[in-house]
Amino acid sequence: EKGTYPHYMLKEIDEQPYVIRNIISKYKTEDETIKLDEDIRQAMLGADRIYIIAAGTSNHAGLVGKQLIERIANKPVEVHIASEFLYNMPIVSEKPLFIFISQSGETADSRGVLVNVKEMGHKALTITNVPGSTLSREADYTLHTYAGPEIAVASTKAYTAQMAVLAILAVDTARAAGIDMNFDPLQELAIVANAMEVLTDQKEKMEQIARDYLSVTRNCFFIGRAADYFVCLEGALKLKEISYIQAEGFAGGELKHGTIALIEEGTPVIGLATQEHVNLSIRGNMKEVVARGASPCMISMEGLNDEDDQLVIPKVHEYLTPLVTVIPLQLLSYYAALHRECDVDKPRNLAKSVTVE
Ligand code: M6R
C-alpha cells in the first residue's frame, strides 16, 4: 500500500535507505562477515569470465556491477543487453558464469538467454527481487535483493538494491580469492544508506530544480564519466519513461562527437561529478556545453564540489557513488513528471514487467 504517499514511485524512492540496511542485515553473519552460499562463491571463483545479462534499469545496474567485480575481484566481466545477446552472441569463454539481473525475474528477453545458455551447459546465477520467479527457478543459483515489492513502473529501489548485492558479491569473491583490499561493503553501504536519507530529505530542493530545468523543456542531456556515466544512462531512462522528455545519457567526452549539435539556448544538461580522477575533465565538458548555451545543473560529491554546483551529495566510497547519485535523478524525474501532469506510476505504453519478446 502506498499509505500517505501520492505515488508508489515516491514511496519506493524513500524506501531506499531501509532497503540498503535490510540488505546489510540479510548478508551479514554474526561475526560481521559476508553471508553467501558456498555454491555461489565457488561458481564465481571458478569462472574465467562473467557475463551479465539484463534489460533496462537492471542492465544499468549491471554496468556498475561490471566495474565493481572487475575492480574489486579482478575478474573480467561483460555486460549485455538481453534482447541483443541471442542475435549477436559474443565468443563465450571456456568457463563462463552468467549473471541475470532482473527485478521481476520474468523478463522474456533475459529468459530467452537463460534457456539458451543452460542448453549450452553453462551455469547461471539470477539476482532478483522475486525469488521463485521464472529466472530464479531456472537458474542454478539465486541472490535475493530484498527490496520489497516494487509497484511503480519506473524502477528505483530495485536498482540500488541490485548494485548493493553486486558490491557484496564482488567483495565476497575477492576475499575467497585471497585478494587483499581495504573496502568493507557492509560498512560502506551503511554510509550509503545515511547519504540516501540526506537526499530524500531534500525533496523541496529537487522539486525546485525540476521546476527550473525540466518543466517546459523538450529535451535534456546527462553527462558523466566513469561510474557517473552509468548513472547518466539510468537518469535519462527514468526521465524519458515517466516525463516523456527526450533524454539521453552520455559519457562526458562523447557529446562533442555529434550530439552537441542539439544544444540550444537553455537546453538542460545535468552533469555528475563524483569521481576524483575525472572531476576536471567532466567540468571541462560542462564548460563546452555552457559555451553553446546549455543550462548546466551540476551534481557533485562533497570534497569534489565547486561552490556554484546545484547539488552536493554526501561523501561515500567511490565504488558506491551510483547508489547515491541516482537518488536526485529519480526525484528530478518524479517531479518533472508531476509538473507535466504525467501518470507517474503508470506511464503510457509501458508495463511493469515485459514478459513478451
Ligand atoms: O524486471 P526486470 O528488472 O528484468 O525489468 C527490466 C526492465 O524492463 C526494467 O528495468 C525497465 O527498464 C524499467 N521500467 C525501468 O524503470
The 3-state secondary structure of 15-29 reads CHHHHHHHHHHHCEC
DSSP sequence for 319-350: GGHHHHHHHHHHHHHHHHHHHTT--SSS-TT-
State the ipTM, two decimals: 0.98
CA of 57 to the centre of ligand 1 (A): 5
Proportion of the chain above pLDDT 90, given as a percent? 90
Predicted confidence (pLDDT) at residue 191 exceeds the cutoff of 90: yes
pTM of the predicted structure, to 2 decimals: 0.97
- In this predicted structure, what is the pLDDT of residue 12? 97
Ligand 1: nearest atom to the Cα of 350: 14
Res 352: pLDDT: 79
For this structure, is 352 an active site residue?
yes
Closest residue to atom 9 of ligand 1, CA basis: 56
Residues with CB under 6 A from ligand 1: 55-58, 102-104, 107, 110, 153-155, 237, 241, 353-354
Q: From edge to edge, which strands make up the β-sheet containing 141-144? A: 77-81, 49-54, 96-102, 123-128, 141-144
Distance from the CA of 357 to the center of ligand 1, in angstroms? 13
Q: Which atom of ligand 1 is nearest to the CA of 57?
A: 10
Closest residue to atom 8 of ligand 1, CA basis? 56
Q: Which of 2, 28, 203, 352 is catalytic?
A: 352
Q: Mind listing the pLDDT tens digit for each residue in 37-85? A: 999 999 999 999 999 999 999 999 999 999 999 999 999 999 999 999 9
Residue 256 above 90 pLDDT?
no
Cell (9 digits) for 4: 500517505
C-alpha cell at 291: 559555451
Q: Which atom of ligand 1 is nearest to the CA of 128?
A: 3
Among 57, 330, 333, say which to mutate for ligand 1: greatest number of ligand atoms within 8 Å of CB: 57
pLDDT of residue 324: 98
Contact 54, 63 (CB under 8 A): no
Looking at residue 345, its pLDDT comes to 83
- Phi then psi for residue 96, to 5 deg, are -80, 155
164 pLDDT exceeds 90? yes
d(CA 158, ligand 1 centre) in Å: 9
Place of cell 556554484: 308
Category of 137 on φ-ψ map: left (φ > 0), alpha (ψ -120 to 50) or beta:
alpha
- Quote the ligand 1 centre to 241 CA distance (angstroms): 11
pLDDT of res. 158: 98
Q: Which of 104, 150, 153, 157 to mutate to test the pocket of ligand 1 (most atoms within 8 A of CB)?
A: 104
For cell 561483460, name the residue: 78
Is residue 255 over pLDDT 90?
no
CA of 164 to the centre of ligand 1 (A): 17
Mean pLDDT, residues 18-38 taken together: 95
Q: List pLDDT tens digits, range 260-316.
A: 889 999 999 999 999 999 999 999 999 999 999 999 999 999 999 999 999 999 999
Tell me what pLDDT residue 350 has.
84
In this structure, of 96-110, 209-223, 241-255, 340-354, the range with the lowest mean pLDDT score is 340-354
Centre of ligand 1 from the C-alpha of residue 160, in Å: 13
In the block, cell 532482473 appears at 102
Q: Are strands 96-102 and 77-81 parallel, antiparallel or unpaired?
A: unpaired
Percent of the chain scored above 70 by pLDDT?
Answer: 100
| Measured distance CA(182)–CA(189) in Å, rounded | 14
Best residue among 99, 102, 103, 357 to mutate for probing ligand 1's pocket (most ligand atoms within 8 Å of CB) is 103
